Structure 1
Amino acid sequence: MSYAMIRHFRRTTLLCEQMRVESTLTNVTQEEFLFRPPVPQWSKVIREAEKIVGYPTSFMNLRWLLSDEFANLAMHLRKIVGSNHPIMKTAKTVLYNEHNNLQPWGLIILLLSKAVSSSTYSVENTTLMERQRMLAELTEMIRTGHYIHKGLLNIPLEERDKTKETSIFANKIAVLIGDYLLVTANGMLARLRNQDLSYLISTALRDLSEGEFFGPRDKQNMPLPGKPVKTNEDYFKINGDTIPLDVKDTLGSPVKEWTLRTMYNGGSLFGRGCEGAMLLGGKSDSDQKKAYLFGCHLCLAWQAASELQKFTSTNKEAFSLVSAPALFALNSSPDMYESLKSVTNVSSLDFDDLKKRIMETDAMEQTKSLFSLHAEKAKSYIEMFGDNQSVSTIKSLIKTV
């Protein structure tokens, strides 16, 4: 490693340490953006998985962390340490927390690639593994870039005075960092020189963008739940089509709304990443579709498990109003929705009281059933790729609760 790279790494590490010690986190609650599923003995499972793929995925982000461009942006972040801008919480999540840096999405894509690849050494196999590794990395970078872009504060023109200068500056840094990651990811995608893969990833980017305009929002663009509706069919069908996701009759229907939001918020991207690994490996259309469905259902299972953990945890923290437990509770208690429908700023809510009201319903049991449904579907799809060590490790990662 060159002296310049070491210097950049130290500068970024210093920033992370400052954020750990000094930052005051914002109360703004984004849609839950899953970085790490609540897997028991997570570190042990990850170490076993990394032995299989032969690649320490906890270092997959070094290519951009050690670049001149990112090092310069990271230094600008130091100017806003101590503020309550969402970018500080985002930066801590991405850069500092070692558990989140284990990057489970990229690891799953690499394990899936390993499960269907030939064990015979050849130049072709080595090249394929490198291409699939690039796909895993760029998928993680797109996810991270999108997450950073979601952490912007909306500041009305009439309020943009000197008291808001720090927040305005932080917004600019968030835009630049997110743009840098997305542009770098697109550059890596272009270097793979596969038009079909580019098309798949572009459909995921479309879904990420469309998700930002779905459903009601507060003044900070935080998602608000749709008005509860009673329906006999509360199921969102996921298929491998690349057409836009079907939004018809989803708002207010707990399972449909939650599933669509999760697909928008990363499920589609994860699924396309898994599908792309099969595409690069020259697998059949059938295998590609199975990989996509596996990725989607695994993401949905992890999301449900993560939301369950947040509600059962003793930590007093805000939660998303469009999480599965919240949507199930609102559907069973319409009066609860009446108190939320006119909310203009999510951060002003009494989350402790709202959590108690949600826990009094059967929302947790319904969310557990939702997790079980998608966990079983993910398991059934991954078992279609054989019985080997990679598949067994993935199955252990599915068991999150």
Structure 2
Amino acid sequence: MSYAIMRHLRRTVILTQQIRYETTMTSVTQEDFVFKPPLTHWSKLIREAEKIVGYPTSFMNLRWLLSDEFANLAMHLRKVVGSNHPIVKTAKNFLYNEHNNLQPWGLIILLLSKAVSPETSSLQNSALAQDQRILAELTEMIRTGHYVHRGLLNIAPDDRDSSMATSMFANKIAILIGDYLLVTANGMLARLKNQDLSYLISTALRDLSEGEFFGERDNQNIPIPGKPVPFETGEFDICSDTTPLKVNNILGEPIREWTLRTMFNGGTLLGRGCQGALLLSGKGEKEQEIAYKFGCYLCLAWQASAEIQKITSDNKEHYSLVSAPVLFALHENPKLYHGLENAKSVSDIDLDKLKVEILRTNAIEQTRSLYSENANKALNYIEMFGDCESVDTIKKMIRTL
């Protein structure tokens, strides 16, 4: 390794360590989606999975951190450490890269790829594995870039005085970091030179964008639940059709509204990533559809699990008003909705008081049932790919809470 590379790596590591330390003193008011199973068991599963795919997932983040562009952005990010801007919490999660911080989407895609890859020559296997790694990386990059962009704060022109200067600067950094990740991911996708794969991923990007305009929002663009309706009309239909997701007559029905919001927020992205892994392996449309549904239901199961942990935690942790427990509670006790519909900002709502009311309902039990239902569907779909070490590891990851 040359002296210049070593010096650049040392500078990046120092910046990372400083941001890690300083961001521990910050808080965040924006919604986030984190899955935290028991650390010891989960870390062991991750290590087992990485041995199977032969590719430590930490390399994904390391490649981004070693770039000059990201190192420069990290230097500017230090200027907003200590503020309550959501980009600080996002950066902390990204830089820590702990195994229990986020659902390991890239690793799931690599495990699925390993399970379905054909036995060919070593040269062909090498090229296929490289393409699959790129797919896993760009899927993670798109997800992280979108996550960063969602942390932007809407600052009214009248409020843009010196006291808001830090938040405005943080917005600029968030835009730059999110754009860097998204543009890099699209460049990686283009280099694969696979038109069908590019089309699949583009439909997931469309869904991520459309999700930002679905339903009512407060003045910080944080989603607000729909007004509860008396009856539900059925489950949300998940299929691999690339047409836009159907949004009519969804708001107010807890299961359908939650499912659609989760699909918008990344469900289709993980589904398309899994589907793309089958496409690269030369599998047919039927198997690709199975992979897509597996990815979607896995995302739904993990999301339900994350929301249960947030609501039942003793910590005063922020939770989303469009999470499943909240939607179930509003449907069971519509009077709770009256305190939400007139709020101009989520920050005006007493979340601690609302949590107490939620826990008085059957919302947690209903969300657990929602998790079990989606987890079982994900298990059923992944079992269709046979019995092998990769599939067994995925099944263990699904069952881990």
Q: TM-score, normalised by structure 2?
A: 0.96
Residue type of the partner of 1:259?
Answer: T
Give the deviation of 1:164 after TM superposition: 1.5
Range with bigger deviation, 20-29 or 291-300: 20-29
Aligned to 2:156: 156
- Structure 1 pair 334–102 and aligned structure 2 pair: CA distance change class (3 A): closer
Contact persistence 1:234–1:253 (CA under 8 A): no
Aligned to 1:347: 347
- SS of the residue corresponding to residue 340 of structure 1 reads helix
Superimposed CA distance per residue, residues 187-225 of structure 1 (whole angstroms, 9 cap, x where no aligned partner): 000000000000000000000000000111111001100
Q: Distance in 1 between matches of 2:374 and 2:74?
A: 38
Residue type of the partner of 1:160?
Answer: R
Range with bigger deviation, 351-360 or 101-110: 101-110
Alignment of 1:227-306 (within 5 A): 227-306=227-306
Superimposed CA distance per residue, residues 223-270 of structure 1 (whole angstroms, 9 cap, x where no aligned partner): 100000122424111011000001011111000010000000000000
Give the deviation of 1:37 after TM superposition: 5.0
Q: Distance in 2 between matches of 1:392 and 1:39?
A: 19
Q: Distance in 2 between matches of 1:76 and 1:20?
A: 14
Aligned to 1:38: 37
Q: Distance in 1 between matches of 2:62 and 2:167?
A: 28
Contact persistence 2:278–2:288 (CA under 8 A): yes
Residue type of the partner of 2:208?
Answer: L
- SS of the residue corresponding to residue 339 of structure 1 reads helix
Aligned to 1:141: 141
Tell me if 1:11 matches 2:8: no
Residue type of the partner of 2:289?
Answer: K
Range with bigger deviation, 360-369 or 96-105: 96-105
Aligned to 2:81: 81
Superimposed CA distance per residue, residues 338-358 of structure 1 (whole angstroms, 9 cap, x where no aligned partner): 011111121232222111110
Q: Distance in 1 between matches of 2:79 and 2:315?
A: 29
Contact persistence 1:375–1:399 (CA under 8 A): yes
Tell me if 1:210 matches 2:201: no
Residue type of the partner of 2:37?
Answer: P
Aligned to 1:308: 308
Give the deviation of 1:27 after TM superposition: 4.1
Give the deviation of 1:63 after TM superposition: 1.8
Tell me if 1:48 matches 2:58: no
- Structure 1 pair 3–231 and aligned structure 2 pair: CA distance change class (3 A): farther
Residue type of the partner of 1:38?
Answer: P
Give the deviation of 1:400 after TM superposition: 3.1
Range with bigger deviation, 81-90 or 201-210: 81-90
Q: TM-score, normalised by structure 1?
A: 0.96
Aligned to 1:220: 220
Aligned to 2:392: 392
Q: Distance in 1 between matches of 2:2 and 2:338?
A: 60
In structure 1, list runs of 5 or more residues that go unmatched.
none
Contact persistence 1:18–1:81 (CA under 8 A): no
Superimposed CA distance per residue, residues 12-52 of structure 1 (whole angstroms, 9 cap, x where no aligned partner): 3333333343334344232x434x45266110000111111
Contact persistence 2:42–2:400 (CA under 8 A): no
Q: Distance in 1 between matches of 2:185 and 2:209?
A: 16
Contact persistence 1:25–1:86 (CA under 8 A): no
Give the deviation of 1:119 after TM superposition: 4.9
Residue type of the partner of 1:213?
Answer: F
Contact persistence 2:26–2:89 (CA under 8 A): yes
Q: Distance in 2 between matches of 1:21 and 1:240?
A: 43
Residue type of the partner of 2:147?
Answer: Y
Give the deviation of 1:157 after TM superposition: 0.9
- Structure 1 pair 10–229 and aligned structure 2 pair: CA distance change class (3 A): farther
- Give the fraction of aligned pairs with identical amino acids, expressed as a percent: 67
- SS of the residue corresponding to residue 315 of structure 1 reads coil
Q: Distance in 2 between matches of 1:270 and 1:10?
A: 34
Give the deviation of 1:312 after TM superposition: 1.8
Aligned structure 1 segments of 4 or more residues deviating by more than 6 angstroms: none
Range with bigger deviation, 46-55 or 90-99: 90-99
Q: Distance in 2 between matches of 1:14 and 1:219?
A: 37
Question: What RMSD in Å do the two structures reach over aligned CA positions?
Answer: 1.6
Tell me if 1:188 matches 2:191: no
Aligned to 1:126: 126
Contact persistence 1:305–1:400 (CA under 8 A): no
- Structure 1 pair 21–62 and aligned structure 2 pair: CA distance change class (3 A): closer
Alignment of 1:348-387 (within 5 A): 348-387=348-387
